[in-house]
Amino acid sequence: MTSLALALPFHFDKPAWLWLCLLVPVLVVASLRSLAGLDPVRRVAALVVRCLVIVLVACCLAEVQRVRRTDDLTVIFLMDRSYSAQEQQELQETYVRESTKNVHPDDRVGLIDFARNGYLQQLPMKGGYFLEPGRLPMMPNTDRTDISAAMRLAMAMFPHDTTKRLVLMSDGNDNIGDVLTEARRVKANDVPVDVLPLEYERRNEVYFDRLIAPTHAEPGEQVPVRMVLETHRPVTGTVSIYLNGDRLDLPEGSSHVQLKPGSNTFFMKLPVDRSGVMTYEARFLPDDDSMDTIALNNTARGFTFVSGGSRVLLLSENAAHDLPLAEALTSENVTVELRTPDELGEFTLPQMLNYSTIILSNVPAATFTDEQQQSLATFVKDMGSGLIMLGGNEGFGAGGWIGSPVEEVMPVSFEIKHKRVIPRGALVLIMHSCEIPRGNYWGKEMAKKSVDTISSQDYIGVLAYSYSPGGENWEVPLDLATNKSAVRAKIDRMQIGDMPDFGSTMQMAYKELTSGRGRDAAQKHVIILSDGDATPPSPRLLADYKEAKITASTIAIGWGGHVMTTQLQRVADATGGTFYSARNPRQLPQIFSKESKVVRRPLIIDEPFQPQVLQAYSDLLAGIDPLAEALPPLGGMVLTSPKESPNVIIPIIRATDDGEDPVLAHWQCELGKAVAFTSGYWPVWGEAWVE
């Protein structure tokens, strides 16, 4: 039975429904009498039709699928070129070459090398491995190894019409990513992974195992720091310690150490005289360089948070607008630093911990990287700090924060969940990213970023050129983003090809936005990601976009003269969109977040209203008597929805016939606290509050 099932060109997802076919002989017996009055030809024809109906119904209920079987195989080799595996590069290349000498003519071979990032060196090609020995380009960032990233890239490069296999060549010393999780995903896709372990032995090696420092301390305290060094042979050397980048003067005799084979532990007490985050870095320098093969692992880091007075970081796109708020906080003896996002630099979690509270005043999500947004959430949930978000034309959902980690810690949802007529937005993505390194990966990731940014009540669609029949296709047909998981799944299945012209896809987007599903959208926007080498759209089509109030923003991505920015800039200028030149793919998440929020402008209520007190017992209303005097009016706000949690407190609301909109809300989010004030924007909405 199993052999028969494997030989059949069909597959049934629910084979239990095939038991209905047993009704066929029953029908034949019953029909012998009921059809007796017909002539033989008509009687046989009627009987055949009835039996076919039963069989077809059974097959439909059993969810029959046609199965195409192939013996063609695609093998992608993953070559570890990190620092620890550099001596094994020739061995790896030889292994690939020898393994593919006698490959079947229809089988395909690909190569991806990796360290911190994965790079495609040979597309899956028929006939074998074609790269010359020693001709691989130099690998950057070899101090990090991310096997999971290489596996993700390989899965994206497999053709859909062959069986698949991965061959991983590595020493297994990955220090970025989660290779086991990625391996489970690969297994779920029925892709086997063969492993060639790279073995080596280094007897002359010293490395830092870890540096351990207490998480909290008080100013003036002696902080105990424990350092663990490992070595294979006896060695002597000097330990240096840096505090926030400055080298410390250690007591005489404590910096020069003698290490024995195995684990060596050293203790030191270091003074701290100020509050904030103290970052420690320990470095080991051997007296004899020949006793240490790899110098990169001679460093260890740790940090301690030193408590002190409350400090507040007030982030504002326009510092002059928030100067009254900073002055009001200062008058209450609160230490405030008023900064613009451009002044922050990297803005990592340790830097955030220098403050007890961070205020985001009308700051869009595109200002922060994905890592920084996650750090802001960690700052609240895990570090017990405070986060306050103020509204404006770039705040909350209008600022692209929908679906972000910051939304998770806020007491309000940035989408409108209750029944209210909110003008919809419509966003169409035109993806032409196949000609840049890892282009299809970035194209898919940015499309999913846009899905996360928009509201579930907005329209989303994705256009791309496919090598399958039909050319330009709606990879994601324009529809409401109510089921974002399904949309992301469609995006993951996209095969982005080399688009010959922009006119066809832009015309398809125009038709759907003007006479199709998106015709009722209040805000219509198109984002084009390309290197610009496709044939430009006609002036007539650009004029139609302008007349229909459809804006098109363009993002040029690529390297050197291959990027044709002129025509992409012309498309953006002609339609009222924005042109971006992305020199690095890592700029794309912020660009897509910024552009995707264009369709969220309807979330802004730009009209005066009288705020009302709903829950006067809130600590945030201490000193305010709502019965004695009314709150000052506000000139606008950003619409949000309160989260369904008993911990959410909503002291101030905007009452309308459609319901109550939170103006001020707060809650305890795990270890920290978060506050949402959906108005603000003081020169425009909050003049009365400033006065």
Looking at domain 73-197, its CATH architecture is 3-Layer(aba) Sandwich (3.40)
The ranges of the chain annotated as CATH 2.60.40.10 are: 206-306
Largest CA distance in the chain: 116
Contact 406, 395 (CB under 8 A): no
Extract the tokens encoding 541. Answer: 């089509």
Residue with tokens 């324009």: 478
- Class at the top of the CATH hierarchy for domain 425-602: alpha beta
- The CATH 3.40.50.880 domain(s) of the chain lie at 310-414+606-691
pLDDT of residue 405: 94
Query: Phi and psi of 585, rounded to 5°?
Result: -55, -25
Helix/strand/coil for 66: strand
pLDDT at 677 over 80: yes
* pLDDT (mean) for 68-92: 87
- Residue range(s) occupied by CATH 3.40.50.410 in the chain: 73-197, 425-602
Instruction: Say yes or no to pLDDT of 590 above 90.
Output: no
What is d(CA 554, CA 531) in angstroms, rounded to the nearest whole number?
10
Domain 206-306: give its CATH code.
Answer: 2.60.40.10
- Residue identified by tokens 């991505």 is 557
CATH class of 310-414+606-691: alpha beta
pLDDT band at 608 (very low <50, low <70, confident <90, very high): very high
**259-275 pLDDT per residue, tens:** 999 999 998 888 887 77
Tell me the per-residue pLDDT of 538-579, one tens digit each, with 9 for 90 and over.
999 999 999 999 999 999 886 545 677 888 999 999 999 999
Half-sphere CA count of 272, side-chain side, radius 13 A: 27
**193 pLDDT higher than 90:** yes
Q: Name the nearest CA neighbour of 163 among 182, 195, 129, 189.
A: 189
Ramachandran angles phi, psi of 11, nearest 5°? -135, 140
Beta carbons within 8 Å of 26's beta carbon, 6+ residues apart: none
Considering only CA atoms, which of 579, 633, 641, 595 is closest in space to residue 611?
Answer: 633
How confident is the model over 656-671, as pLDDT tens digits? 887 889 999 999 998 8
Q: How far apart are CA 265 and CA 229, in angstroms?
A: 6
Contact 381, 411 (CB under 8 A): no
Of all residues in the chain, what percent carry a pLDDT higher than 70?
A: 92
Angle at which helices 439-453 and 484-492 pack, to 10 degrees?
170
Q: 571 near 554, Cβ under 8 Å? A: yes
Helix (H, G, I), strand (E, B) or coil at 305: strand
User: Mean of the pLDDT values across residues 326-352?
Assistant: 89
In the numeric block, which tokens belong to residue 231? 């070595």
